[in-house]
Structure 1
Amino acid sequence: MFIVFTSTLNFSSSKISAKLIVQKSVRKWKLGKCPNFANIGHYNTCAVVGNSGVLLGSQCGAEINSMDFVMRIDMPVIRGFEKDVGNRTSMVLFNLKGPDRIRQSSAFKNRSRDVYESRFRDVEGAILFADKKAVKNIKTAVNTYKLSFPLVSPSGRIRNGVRGTASEIAKRNITGTPSIGLVSVVMMTAICDHPYIYGFYPFTSDANNNSILYHYFPGDFVDPPLEHKFDPKHRVNQEYEFHRELHRRGVLKMQVGPCGKQ
C-alpha cells in the first residue's frame, strides 16, 4: 500500500520541496498490533528535534510539545530530558546506520545493555520512517520488543532528490550526501505551514567557547562504540548554513539557544 505527501504551502521553497515529496510514494506497513497505517497530513506547526547537546538546558520542551507534529531523529532518549526536548513524538526518522545498531542492541542477552527498548516504548505508536535498506532491522527490533508501530519507507532511497531540492531552494549547489537531518527539514517544509527546528548544531563549542556535546544523551553499548563526530560524507557545516538561510528568509524558525531567546 502507498501514501503520498502533499502540500499547499505558499512559500516558494515549500512548493519546491513539495514537488519532491508528492512525486515519491512510500510503502507502508503495520508492525505488531498497530491498528492503523500511517496517516501523514498537512499541519499548522511542526518541529524537527535534532540531537545536539545544545539542547541541554534549553527549556524547549513545552514549546516542542505545543507543536501539531513532532519529528525526531534516530530514536533518541526522551525520558529524563523532557524539559529540554519535550515528550511528544509523531514521527521518528532513521539514518542508514542506526537501525543496524538497534538490531544488534535488541539481541543482547544482557538486557540491561540494550538502551533502545525503553526508547521505543516511549514513542510507541509514532510513525517510523526508514530507508528500505533499514526496514528489516527496524522490524527485527520492534518484533523483539513486542511493540506496535506504523512504518513507512520511500519506494526509492530515502535521500533521492533531497540534495537537488535543497540546491533549488538555496539557489546554489548543495554538495555531499544529505544527512537525515536535512531530509527531515526538507520534508517538513512540504507538510507544514510553520516549521521549527531544534538541536541542529554541528559544532563542538558555542559562541562563548563552551563545549557542546555531540548528542544531548549518552551513546549505546554496540561495538564499535558510537563515535562523537559526524560522518565526513555529510557536509554538516553547509547544511547548518542552509538551515540558517531558511531561518533568515522566514521559511522556518531555527532555535539554537534557550527557548524564548534568539
Structure 2
Amino acid sequence: MPFANARYNQCSIVGNSGILVNSGCGDKINQADFVIRFNFPPVLTRFMKDSGIRTHLFTCNAGIIDTKFGYFGDLVRSTRWVRTFKSYVLVYKYAESSVLTFPFMIPGEHQRRLLDFQKILSDQNVPNKVFLNHPDHRRKTTEFWARKGLVERSLSSGFYVISAALSFCDRVKVYGFWPFDRDRRGRPLGYHYGVGPRDRGQDNPWHRMDREFYKLVELHAKGIIELVTKPCS
C-alpha cells in the first residue's frame, strides 16, 4: 500500500456529495499531505475550486469500472479498454494515483473483475498501481464499529477509508460527506457534485449513509476527525 510505512500530518478524505458545489474547499483539500477520493470523480478545472485537484489514492469497485470504461474481456478488448482508462486518467488529472479495490467482499464475477483489473494494468505497464484490500482488515474494522453501535452489512468504502486513515494520518479532514438532499440551509443538492450514479444512500441494502454520517458527526464532536459541512470560503 502507498501508506504502508508512512505517517502523514494531514489527510483529506473527499466524498462526492453535492454539498461540495460552491464550497470553495479546493485549496484546503489540496493542502493535505495525502488526498483520497472515491469512484473516479470528475476532478476537472470547473470543480477545482470546490473539490481540489490532487489525488494520491482513490477507491473503486467492479460496477464503477464497467460504468466508466466498459467491459474488458479478451486481449483485444482489454488493450482498447486500457487506452480508454489512460485517457480518462490523463483528462481527469489522476497522474499516477494508486487505486484501492475490494475484491474479496463479494465472491464470483465481482471478485474476478477486480483481480483482472489489477493484472491488466500491471501487464500493460499503466503507472496507476492497483492494491487489494485485505479481507481480514475489512472484517475486523466492521466488527469494531459494530461494537461501537454502527451495525452494517458492509461499511461503505467512504466510512471504511476514513476509519483506516486514522491509523496513518495525524489529522483527518473529511469533505463531501452528506447523505441528505438538502444542505444545512435547506437548499436542494445534487447527489454528486459531478455526474455520477446515485448510490441510494439512505436505502442501500449494504450500508446506510445516514447512519454512517451520524457516527462521523460523533467523531467530529470528539475531535477525532474534522467533518467539513460548511463552505470553506
Same structural fold, with TM-score higher than 0.5 when normalized by the shorter chain: yes
Unaligned 5+ segments in structure 1 are: 4-37, 220-225
Shift of 1:164: 1.6
Shift of 1:167: 3.2
Counterpart for residue 10 of structure 1: none
Counterpart for residue 89 of structure 1: 55
Q: 2:143 matched to 1:164?
A: yes
For the residue of structure 1 that corresponds to 2:29, the secondary structure is: helix
Moved more, 117-126 or 48-57: 117-126
Counterpart for residue 191 of structure 1: 168
**1:68 paired residue among 13, 30, 33:** 33
For the residue of structure 2 that corresponds to 1:160, the secondary structure is: helix
Alignment of 1:34-45 (within 5 A): 38-40=2-4, 41-45=6-10
* CA gap 1:217/1:157 in 2 versus in 1, 3 angstroms: farther
* CA gap 1:210/1:119 in 2 versus in 1, 3 angstroms: farther
Taking the aligned partners of 1:137 and 1:103, their CA distance within structure 2 comes to: 11
**1:52 paired residue among 14, 17, 26:** 17
Shift of 1:153: 0.8
Count of residue correspondences: 211
Shift of 1:147: 3.5
CA RMSD in angstroms comes to 2.7
- TM-score between both structures, scaled by the size of structure 2: 0.79
Q: Once the two structures are superposed, what CA deviation does each residue of 1:81-107 show, in whole Å capped at 9, x if it has no partner?
A: 110111111111124532233341776
**Cα contact 2:118–2:131 (8 A) shared by 1:** no
Alignment of 1:1-262 (within 5 A): 38-40=2-4, 41-80=6-45, 81-104=47-70, 118-121=87-90, 122-132=93-103, 133=111, 134-137=114-117, 139-140=119-120, 147-156=126-135, 159-168=138-147, 171-219=148-196, 226-227=197-198, 229-230=200-201, 231-259=204-232
Q: Once the two structures are superposed, what CA deviation does each residue of 1:9-38 show, in whole Å capped at 9, x if it has no partner?
A: xxxxxxxxxxxxxxxxxxxxxxxxxxxxx4
The one-letter code of the counterpart of 2:216 is: H
**Cα contact 1:95–1:180 (8 A) shared by 2:** no
Unaligned 5+ segments in structure 2 are: 104-110
- TM-score between both structures, scaled by the size of structure 1: 0.71
Shift of 1:150: 2.0
Taking the aligned partners of 1:95 and 1:259, their CA distance within structure 2 comes to: 30
Taking the aligned partners of 1:152 and 1:188, their CA distance within structure 2 comes to: 16
**Identity rate, percent:** 26
